[in-house]
Structure 1
Amino acid sequence: MTQDKQQQILDSLMTAVIVLDQDLCIEYMNASAEMTLSVSSGKVHGNPIHSLFSAADGTPQSLAQALKENRNFTKRKANWKLHNQQTLTVDYSVTPSAEFGDVVIEVQPLDRLLRISREEAMLSSQETSRNLVRSMAHEIKNPLGGIRGAAQLLSRELVDAGLEEYTRIIIEETDRLRDLVDRMLGPHTSSQKESLNIHEVLEHVMSMIRAEVGGRITLKRDYDPSIPEIFADRSQMIQTVLNIARNAMQSLTENKDKLTEHAKITFATRIQRRYTIGREYHPLVAKISIIDNGLGIAPELIEDIFFPMITGRAEGTGLGLAIAQNLVSQHNGLVECNSDKNQTEFTIYLPLDNNHA
C-alpha cells in the first residue's frame, strides 16, 4: 500500500489521529485531528505536543512516561484547552511504538457526542410539541368560524347602530385569533425546492430589515463566497432568516438605551466539514449565522427558545423561532442558539450533500 493511499485512509477516519516522534513533537495529523484541534497539520509539524493544547492536565508527561515504558493507556473525559482558548472534552488512547520511537494518539471528542445527543432530544421534543400545537390549533380554529359567522349575522339584525361596535370587535378579534392559529399550524404548502444562492436570501432579508430600521442598526456581511448553491425552498429560507433577524432587530430596538455600543446584526456564512445533524453525518454543511450585539437571552429561556409560545419579549408571540426551526427541519437541517452577554448567535445548518431534486 502506497503512502498516499495510507494517508487517504487515515484522512477518511472520523477518529482524530496524531503521530508524535520520540521527543513528543508532531509528525502527522489526519483531517479529523485538524478539524478537532482547529489547526493545520502543516503549520504545527515539528512543534511539541503542548503547542496544540494546554499542558495543565498532565497529558505531555503521561505521553512521555508511556513512551518510556512502552505502555498503552486510555484517558477518559480529559479537558484540553486549545490554542484558540476553546475548551474540548475528549477521550484519547495512546499507543507507543518502541521499535520506531513514535507515539500514536487516537482522540474522540465528547463534545460532539454530547451535542448529537442533545440535538436528538431537542428535535424529538420539538416534534412532539409541534404535533400537540397542531392538534390544539385545529380544535381552536373550528369554532372560530362559527363565532365569526354568528357575529356577522348578529350585526345585520341589530337595530341600534351603536351596538355594531361590539360585533365589529368580535369579528376583528376572531380574525386575529385565526391568523395566530394559522401561524401555529405552519406553512400550508409543501416545499418547492430549487437551487439557490443563500447569499441572495440573506441580501433580500437585509434589505427588508434595513427598510424597517434605517440607520438605527448596522447590518454587516461576513460571507464565504465558496459556498455552493443549496437545494431549498426560497420563500421558506427567506421566512426562516427573516424570523431570526427580526427577533434580533426587535430585541436591539427595544433595549437600545441599555446597549454598550451601536446596535449591529452580522450575517455570516461558512462551510462546515464533517458535521452531524441528529444521527445523520454530512461531509459538507452550509453554516449561516445571524449575530447581534444585544443583551442576550435569559439563561432560563435558552433551552426552550425554539418551542412555541416561548419568548423573552413582552410583545413577542413565541412563534417565530419555532416556525424557523420547523422550516429548516424540512430541509434536514437544524437551528442552534448560543447567547452570552452582549452577543447572541443563531446558526442555521443546511446539508450540502443532498443538493439535488
Structure 2
Amino acid sequence: MRKIKLSPLFITLLLAAVLVLGGCVPKGEQDKAANSFMVTDMLGRQVTLKKPVERVVAIGPGALRLYCYINGIDKVVGVEQLEKNNPTGRPYLLAYPSLTSLPVIGPGGPNNAPDPEKIVAVKPDVIFTTYNADKASVDALQGKTGIPVVALSYGKVSAFDPAVYSSLKLIGEIMGQEKKAQELIGYMEKCKEDLNNRTKDIPDNKKPTVYVGALGARGAHGIESTQGKYSLLEAIHAKNVVDETGKTGSIMIDKEKLIQWNPDIIFIDLAGYSIVQDDYQKNPAFYKALSAVRKGELYSQLPYNFYTTNIDTALADAYYLGKVIYPRQFEDVDPEKKADEIYQHLLGKPLYAQMAKDFGGFKKLTLP
C-alpha cells in the first residue's frame, strides 16, 4: 500500500480548521457554561447556580443564622416574618438588627411551608433552606420559584455536628467565602478539642452527677424537660444522670425520677426559669427534696434553642458548665469573656452583655 505523505502546510491548515470548527459552539452557550457552577447540597442534590451570587434568602429553622456566620448580612434581600418578631435569644439578630427591616418572604417557623410568591418577589439568586428533609419537597420549591434551592442541615446535636460544618462549607463555596468557612470550622473544632482535653482524663469517681432541666424544645418547659446524651455535657465528659434512661435527645421525665437521681449539680435553662419558679411556688417540697437546691448547687444556662440551635450560645454554655462542674480544670476560664470571644468569632460582635441583660447571665440561682 502506498503511503500518503502530508505536507507541513496541509497539517497546519487541517489543525486550524479543527480549531475553527471547535469554536462554533454558540457564544451564549459558552458564556452560560463560564458563568455557572454546580454544588452538591446536604440532601445530595446537584444544584447549578449562576455567577456571581448577589441576592440571597435563607428560610427555615437556623438557615439565616448559618448564613450570617459566613457572610454577615451581605446580599440578604428578605427574611421570614418570624425573624422580624422578638429577636431576644437569637444573637445573629442582635448582631445584625437591620435584618428585621428587610422585606417579608414568608411566615417562617417549623410548621409553616415556604411562600414561593413572596420569595420570587425579592428576586434572589439562591434560596438556602433547612425546611425540607426530602429531595422531592426541595425540588418542588425550586420548580415553583425557578430559583436554585440549596438544602442545609444542622444535624442532630446542639454543637460540633459534622452536618453543620458541611453546611458552612457549602455556603462558603457558593458565596466565595471558603476561607471564612474553614476558619470558622477550625475555631469550633479548637473549642471542642479544648473542652475535651480539659476533662477527658478525670476519673468517673471524681466527677459530680449533673442534671440540666427546663431545656427548650419547641417552646419553653419546666424542670422535667431535659436531654439524654446531652451534647454539651458530652463535650466535657460530665456524668449526666439522664443517660441512665438510655435515651438520646429531648425527653420529659417524671419529676419523682429527679428526686431518685438527686444529682449533685442542677443547671436550669433560663428560657424555662420562670416556669420553674412558678412550679416552686406550687410545690416547694419537691424542690427542697433535691440536695442541689438545698446546698446551693443550682446554676443557670443561657438558652440557645430559638428557631433551632444558636451554636454560639451553646458553645458558651459548654464552657460555663465546665467551669461549674470542674472548677480546677477551668480555673483559667472566665465564662463571660469566653462567651464574648465566641460571639466575636461567629458573629463579629461581643454579645454576652445583651444576652445576660435579656436572660440573667451565668450565675447561681435561688428558689423562690
Q: Kindly indicate whether structure 1 or structure 2 has the higher relative contact order, using CA contacts under 8 Å at least 6 residues apart.
A: 2
Q: Which one has a larger percent strand, Structure 1 or Structure 2?
A: 1
TM normalised by structure 2 equals: 0.25
